[in-house]
Amino acid sequence: MEFVKGGVCAAKGFKASGIHCGIRKNKTKKDLALIVSDVKASAAAVYTSNLVKGAPIYVTKENIADGTARAVICNSGNANTCNSNGVEIAKAMCDLVQESTDVAASDVVVASTGVIGQPLDITPIKDGMAELVCALNYNGSEDAANAIMTTDTVLKEIAVEFTLSGKKCTMGGIAKGSGMIHPNLATMLVFITTDAAVSPEMLNKALKNDVADTFNMVSVDGDTSTNDMVCVLANGLAGNAEITAEGEDFDAFCKALGEVNSYLCREIAKDGEGATKLLECKVFSASEKAIARTVAKSVVCSSLVKAAMFGADANWGRILCAIGYSGADVDINKIDVSFKSEAGEIPVCKNGMGIDFSEEIAKEILLKDEIQVLIDLNSGDEFAVARGCDLTYDYVKINGDYRT
């Protein structure tokens, strides 16, 4: 597998664009993105588990119920959620794509991100469609990635090349993250495109399997958004024999998808609102996969752990504490904990008890911007990793007055 440039346009036959249409007041910030496949693609998506769902999610679900789609339209600046005309507006966005391109409205994935509960005005989108469609091009990934960003500070895109039965395939993705990010998705929008040929059923299976280990294991602030969506389009233009069952090709496809998703997860966690560092909690030797996941998530979600990481404070008691209230059935007396970063690794707790360690070395390790908390449960063979970030002044600042 090789990393390549081009993001969501790296795979054959995908164009993208992003413009400022006026949903946002700030004219320098793009707010409308479009991705179009030259041909119909297999489509699969996973959505927020929040009972309050953005209107676009209902419309997207309906449009990809047949397992196919050709385009993605996404705006930032307004979530189109908790508005009485939400579904109507989301459908109107699909209609606008149909009117301006050769894509049927029923083949459009629609997504929105931003403030909840303020009606989304269709006018700027309508007025911007000509420009948006005109700007579509095979190098448009960055523009699209820019347009879906909200409080993200870093553009998130990735692409990889891989081989399926001798055919070179490409897969790329763009993502927006930042706040309201929590297991079972978040205001996390991820659009992935690939030219591999995969049946809708197998695409769906690959995606569902993968998110359990990737996007469902990311938390920025414990708040699960109403609008989350991870969507994959696979247009088959690579010319490989279509994947219709499990096997070597399916495994290779899943591996590529895992690579793309893991990268985007790390990027989302690292760029969490106000974050200064990436926090990865790796849980080893759990008796069950579910226990490993629960423990890892509880640690990266703990406000006290997150604040300690911000302060580069090796307060491992908070990690034990977070394991203890996670609800996972673990033997506390078997737990070992270490901190690790590019500056080294330091054990701080053995068999659930504190051990002597150098606070200076620990500080040096924790001052780096990518921190791993390694937890060994010494109870089995299962592993999980959860990703999050530190809790900082800036998180509070960003969220103390987001709307103004």
Least distance (Å) between residue 118 CB and a copy of itself:
6
Q: Using the rule CB under 8 A, is 55 a contact of a copy of itself?
A: no
Stretch that binds a copy of itself, among 151-159, 222-230, 283-291, 367-375 (CB under 8 A): 222-230
- In this structure, the strands spanning 229-234 and 156-164 are unpaired
Instruction: Starting at the earlier edge strand, list the strands of the sheet with 336-341.
Output: 353-354, 344-350, 336-341, 370-376, 278-286, 382-389
Query: What's the first-to-final CA gap in the chain, in angstroms?
Result: 44
Q: Using the rule CB under 8 A, is 304 a contact of a copy of itself?
A: yes
**How many CB atoms are closer than 10 A to CB 345?**
12
Contact (CB, 8 A) for 226 and 268: no
Cβ proximity to a copy of itself: between 118 and 139 the closer is 118
Least distance (Å) between residue 315 CB and a copy of itself:
6
CA torsion through residues 69, 267, 390, 24, sign: negative
Report the half-sphere exposure of 207 (CA within 13 A, side-chain side). 25
Least distance (Å) between residue 331 CB and a copy of itself:
9
Least distance (Å) between residue 320 CB and a copy of itself:
5
Is-catalytic flag, 187?
yes
Report the half-sphere exposure of 367 (CA within 13 A, side-chain side). 7
Q: Give the span between the Cα atoms of 308 and 228, in whole angstroms.
A: 29
Ranges within 326-345 binding a copy of itself (CB under 8 A): 330, 332
* Bridge partner residues of 97 (DSSP): none
Least distance (Å) between residue 326 CB and a copy of itself:
8
Q: Give the span between the Cα atoms of 218 and 179, in whole angstroms.
A: 11
Among 150, 187, 194, 294, the one annotated catalytic = 187
**Burial of 321 by CB count in 10 Å (0-12 exposed, 13-18 middle, 19+ buried)?**
middle
Cβ proximity to a copy of itself: between 23 and 330 the closer is 330
Contact (CB, 8 A) for 54 and 210: no
Burial 21-51 (b: 16+ CB within 10 A, else e): bbbbeeeeebbbbbbbbeeebbbbbbbbebe
x/- track of binding to a copy of itself for residues 110-149 (CB under 8 A): -----xxxxx------------------------------
Cβ proximity to a copy of itself: between 184 and 193 the closer is 184
Q: Using the rule CB under 8 A, is 60 a contact of a copy of itself?
A: no
Q: Using the rule CB under 8 A, is 76 a contact of a copy of itself?
A: no
Cβ proximity to a copy of itself: between 81 and 101 the closer is 81
Q: Using the rule CB under 8 A, is 396 a contact of a copy of itself?
A: yes
Tell me, what amino acid is at 207?
L
Cβ proximity to a copy of itself: between 253 and 310 the closer is 310
Q: Give the span between the Cα atoms of 42 and 334, in whole angstroms.
A: 47
Q: Using the rule CB under 8 A, is 317 a contact of a copy of itself?
A: yes
Q: Using the rule CB under 8 A, is 283 a contact of a copy of itself?
A: no
Ranges within 171-200 binding a copy of itself (CB under 8 A): 179-180, 182, 184
Q: Using the rule CB under 8 A, is 347 a contact of a copy of itself?
A: no
Contact (CB, 8 A) for 25 and 220: no
Q: Using the rule CB under 8 A, is 286 a contact of a copy of itself?
A: no
Q: Using the rule CB under 8 A, is 87 a contact of a copy of itself?
A: no
Q: Which residues bind a copy of itself (CB under 8 A)?
A: 49-53, 79, 81-84, 115-119, 179-180, 182, 184, 221-226, 301-304, 307-308, 310-311, 313, 315-318, 320-325, 330, 332, 349, 352-354, 391-393, 395-404
Residues recognised as catalytic: 187
